[in-house]
Structure 1
Amino acid sequence: MTTLLLVRHGLTAMTGPVLAGWTPGVRLDDRGREQAARLAGRLASLPIAAVVTSPLERCAETAAAIASRLDGRAGDVETDERFGEVRYGDWTGRPLKELAKEPLWRVVQEHPSAVRFPGEDGESLAAAQHRAVTAVRDWNARIAAEHGPDALYAVCSHGDIIKAIVADALGLHLDQFQRIQADPASLTAIRYTETRPFVVRVNDTGGDVAGLVPPPREEGSGKDGLGPGDAPVGGGA
């Protein structure tokens, strides 16, 4: 029942008008730092066992803000390159209004599983999803082994990577991932069981987070006697 808290980094000067990608030195602006601090305050009461981040500065700064409110409970922030942004190749650093005129743009919107971004370091969206989901599975196993099966951990990443992870958890084909939204400094929660994931929240930007802590389980069962991977019929309470 490991619970993954996916956090998108806060705003930067490039967020929105420009495809930042792996552009170095893109840091949170004043708005982004405020967003990160506010989210960190919301998460401060949760028993987060670890904080992991993309290597890019905007994510590392957001993750550091979260870890700073945990009083050392999560240890040092750990970096995993597999949670880094999609490698957009020659599209990196270009304005989105300009990119929207490219023929490949429509493919990105309608058939993203077929897309490989142009340039020597351009990555396919399918490859980006594969590396991110593989990282999640690895961290789920590590966190469960080190902190127990009901532990929570946080990963700070990027919009397309978060959407790709959510699509996998929902059992959606990658071609549907554009239907998912991940705003700056938003929180998405996925609970992984032995049989399947449960998407608990998506694109949450405010409100109480106490419900993200898994309820106590009776030995050999889940909540209300259900199996640990069972969904309640009728929606439950």
Structure 2
Amino acid sequence: MTTLLLVRHGLTALTGPVLAGWTPDLHLDERGRTQVRDLGARIAGLPLRAVVSSPLDRCLETAEAIAAGHGDPIEKIEVDERFGEVRYGDWTGRPLEELAKEPLWRVVQAHPSAARFPGEDGESLAAAQHRAVEGVRDWNERVAAEHGPDAMYAVCSHGDIIKAIVADALGLHLDQFQRIQADPASLTVIRYTELRPFVVRLNDTGGGVADLIPKPAANGGSPGGGDGDAPVGGGA
């Protein structure tokens, strides 16, 4: 039951009004630095075995805050481009108010599986989801092989990427991913079992995390019942 902590980066000067995408040299602002320090302190007691990050500065700075605040030193932040932001192509750096007038905007909102962003380096949302989910599966295997099946790790990424990973975990078509929210410096937690993923937390921006520590399975089974299945009757 590998546990994945998905962390969205903290606030930047562009978060909200502008589609930042792969804008270079975009760093956390003062609000964002405070957010990620607080998040790092909140999850400091969790048994993280790895911290993985998008290559973009705002995620790397978020990952560094998590690693710095952790109870057991995490010496190296792993960088994986598969968790990088969607490549928005010619939309990168444009105000959202302006983009909302584009015909493609309606497609992105209502039928995102059909959306491909314009320009030479524009990416489809389906391709972005595929690479991100592939990254999660690879890291699940790697972390479990190195640290055991109950290992926990964190990935620092971006809103649309986190939403796409959650949609996959929930078994939702990509066209439903706009129903999911991932706020800056939020925590989303997914446990992966042999049978299915379990979305444990979604868009969490406060509160205790002690219940996220994996518990030994009773009688040799997985927590929650047989081989990682859900407890009969819904359970607690």
TM bracket, shorter-chain basis: over 0.9
Structure 1 residues 144 and 73: CA distance shift in structure 2, 3 A: farther
Aligned pairs for 1:205-216 within 5 A: 205-216=205-216
Q: Which residue of 1 aligns with 2:85?
A: 85
Indicate the SS of the match to 1:203: strand
1:71 Cα deviation after fit: 4.7
Query: Structure 2 CA distance, aligned partners of 1:75 and 1:221?
Result: 33
1:222 Cα deviation after fit: 1.9
1:102 Cα deviation after fit: 0.2
1:66 Cα deviation after fit: 0.3
Q: Which residue of 1 aligns with 2:233?
A: 234
Indicate the SS of the match to 2:31: helix
Q: Which residue of 1 aligns with 2:136?
A: 136
Contact 2:68 2:74 in 1 (8 A): no
Q: Which residue of 1 aligns with 2:194?
A: 194
Indicate the SS of the match to 1:234: coil
**Match of 2:80, as an amino acid?**
D
Contact 1:50 1:75 in 2 (8 A): no
Name stretches of at least 5 consecutive residues in structure 1 with no aligned partner. Answer: none
Contact 2:54 2:83 in 1 (8 A): yes
1:206 Cα deviation after fit: 0.1
Aligned pairs for 1:57-206 within 5 A: 57-206=57-206
Indicate the SS of the match to 2:175: helix
Contact 2:51 2:77 in 1 (8 A): yes
Name stretches of at least 5 consecutive residues in structure 2 with no aligned partner. Answer: none
Contact 1:220 1:227 in 2 (8 A): no
Query: Structure 2 CA distance, aligned partners of 1:210 and 1:71?
Result: 14
My pick for the range that moved more, 4-13 or 62-71, is 62-71
RMSD: 1.0
Indicate the SS of the match to 1:233: coil
Indicate the SS of the match to 1:223: coil
1:73 Cα deviation after fit: 3.7
Q: Which residue of 2 aligns with 1:32?
A: 32
Contact 1:85 1:161 in 2 (8 A): yes
1:233 Cα deviation after fit: 1.9
1:72 Cα deviation after fit: 4.8
Query: Structure 1 CA distance, aligned partners of 2:223 and 2:26?
Result: 44
Contact 1:49 1:73 in 2 (8 A): no
Query: Structure 1 CA distance, aligned partners of 2:175 and 2:75?
Result: 37
Indicate the SS of the match to 2:220: coil
Deviations 1:96-153 (A, max 9, x none): 0000000000000000000000000000000000000000000000000001100100
**Match of 2:95, as an amino acid?**
P
My pick for the range that moved more, 111-120 or 210-219, is 210-219
1:213 Cα deviation after fit: 1.1
1:219 Cα deviation after fit: 4.9
Contact 2:83 2:135 in 1 (8 A): yes
Query: Structure 1 CA distance, aligned partners of 2:50 and 2:147?
Result: 9
Indicate the SS of the match to 2:233: helix
My pick for the range that moved more, 29-38 or 73-82, is 73-82
Query: Structure 2 CA distance, aligned partners of 1:193 and 1:144?
Result: 11
